[in-house]
Homo-oligomer: A and B are copies of this chain.
Amino acid sequence: MGKRDFISTLDWDRAELQGLLDMARELKQSPFREDLKNKSIALVFFNPSLRTRTSFELGMHQLGGKAIVLEPGKGAWPIEFEDGSIMDGDAEEHIREAARVLSRYCDCIAVRAFPKFQDWQVDRTDHVIKQFAKHATVPVINMETITHPCQEMAHMLALQERLGSTDGKKYVLTWTYHPKPLNTAVANSGLIIAAKFGFDVTLLCPTPEYRLDERYMQAAESYTQANGRKLTVTHDIDEAYDGAHVVYAKSWGALPYFGKWDQEKPIRDAHKHFIVDAEKMAKTDDGLFSHCLPMRRNIKATDEVADSANSLIIDEAENRIHVQKALMLDLLR
């Protein structure tokens, strides 16, 4: 039997993921265990983190294990990811060594590696974490690359806590303004996890250029179909919010403008009104609001919405620790 990685929920079916969510709920009730005593995880951050670091480091501790935090390029060596390369540039270390050595020390490797944002055709290969997974001999967990599966699970747990069954409910993933173009990871993730868990899914974005990568659009299409639901893409705010049970907000950069962000700026600047506010939420069916953190207040959502009783932002963030503990238990026990 080979090892199993947690790189994308595309590779895990709904029943498996529900198993993790059920375990997470249990851990939320009884957080302290010793199952992973003598186990360890290396947390490799190529990008900064607050919640992810705290929830993984503390989560592993609460299961009896030990997390080691590494920041290549800061406290550690820059890493080369191409096989066969002649390493005469900046990188001092090859992923073949980094991944294999960490596999000797630790029982699991978690990686955060954001896209480089120059060329989506490159970024969409998810090369960094794929290379980690290829060379590591232990399970590899995605702490956010071009998707953010741990956030998906925390999000879904928060939704199930409030909604019970999610089947047939209306889920809106809405683009919102942000002064900078952002990673599509959480948007991709929201789309596919909602589709997998039986929602009718609406993607609301300013123009067709903000459509997400076809890999995720097609997955969402196929999941909704299999569940007897539908996937809708719209640029009409009213249509999207109408009767929604969930509004998940996120900003992202439009894929056709990758690497030429100055050309995208006028478009995004023209859509600041996509902010989630009380007026829009009033059109929903007592809809829940959420956003992964960090979230710019009064840019992506108003204080009123963020602080409303229907806001899940803090619950979803808390759930990160519970779902990640469930995941580590599943992969390492």
Q: Which of A's residues lie within 8 Å of B, judged by CB?
A: 31-32, 38, 40, 42, 45, 48-51, 53-55, 57-58, 61-62, 66, 68, 70-72, 74-77, 80, 84-88, 91-94, 96-98, 100-102, 104-106, 179, 293-299, 303, 306-307, 313-314, 317-318, 321
A76 near B53 with CB under 8 A, answer yes
A314 near B70 with CB under 8 A, answer no
Contact of A54 (CB < 8 Å), options: B32, B49, B102, B297? B102
Contact of A85 (CB < 8 Å), options: B70, B88, B179, B297? B297
B49 near A57 with CB under 8 A, answer no
Contact of A104 (CB < 8 Å), options: B74, B299, B318? B318
A84 near B303 with CB under 8 A, answer yes
Task: Look across to chain B and name the residue whose beta carbon is closest to the beta carbon of A182.
Answer: B92
Contact of A77 (CB < 8 Å), options: B42, B50, B106? B50
Given contacts A88-B296, A101-B318, contact A93 B50 (CB under 8 A): yes
Which residues of chain B are within 8 angstroms of A106 by Cβ–Cβ distance? 54, 58
Question: Once the chains are docked, how many angstroms separate the CA of A206 from the CA of B263?
Answer: 54
Given contacts A294-B92, A296-B92, A297-B94, contact A48 B76 (CB under 8 A): yes
Task: Look across to chain B and name the residue whose beta carbon is closest to the beta carbon of A316.
Answer: B101
Question: Once the chains are docked, how many angstroms separate the CA of A77 from the CA of B42?
Answer: 21
Which residues of chain B are within 8 angstroms of A40 by Cβ–Cβ distance? 58, 61
Contact of A93 (CB < 8 Å), options: B54, B293, B299? B293
Expressed in whole angstroms, the minimum distance between the Cβ of A88 and any Cβ of chain B is: 5
Expressed in whole angstroms, the minimum distance between the Cβ of A47 and any Cβ of chain B is: 9
Task: Look across to chain B and name the residue whose beta carbon is closest to the beta carbon of A77.
Answer: B294
Which residues of chain B are within 8 angstroms of A295 by Cβ–Cβ distance? 93-94, 97
Task: Look across to chain B and name the residue whose beta carbon is closest to the beta carbon of A180.
Answer: B92
Which residues of chain B are within 8 angstroms of A72 by Cβ–Cβ distance? 50
B76 near A313 with CB under 8 A, answer no
Which residues of chain B are within 8 angstroms of A54 by Cβ–Cβ distance? 42, 68, 70, 102, 105-106
Other than A42-B54, A50-B98, A97-B314, give 17 A-B pairs with Cβ distance below 8 A: A31-B38, A40-B61, A49-B75, A50-B72, A51-B101, A53-B76, A58-B66, A58-B105, A61-B66, A86-B299, A88-B179, A88-B299, A93-B294, A94-B295, A94-B297, A97-B295, A100-B314
Which residues of chain B are within 8 angstroms of A293 by Cβ–Cβ distance? 93, 97, 101
B45 near A75 with CB under 8 A, answer yes
Q: Could you name 30 residue pairs across A and B whose Cβ atoms are closer than 8 Å?
A: A31-B38, A38-B62, A40-B58, A48-B75, A48-B76, A49-B76, A50-B72, A51-B101, A53-B75, A54-B102, A54-B106, A58-B105, A71-B75, A74-B74, A80-B297, A84-B303, A85-B297, A86-B299, A87-B296, A87-B297, A87-B298, A87-B299, A88-B296, A91-B296, A94-B295, A96-B307, A97-B317, A100-B314, A101-B293, A104-B317
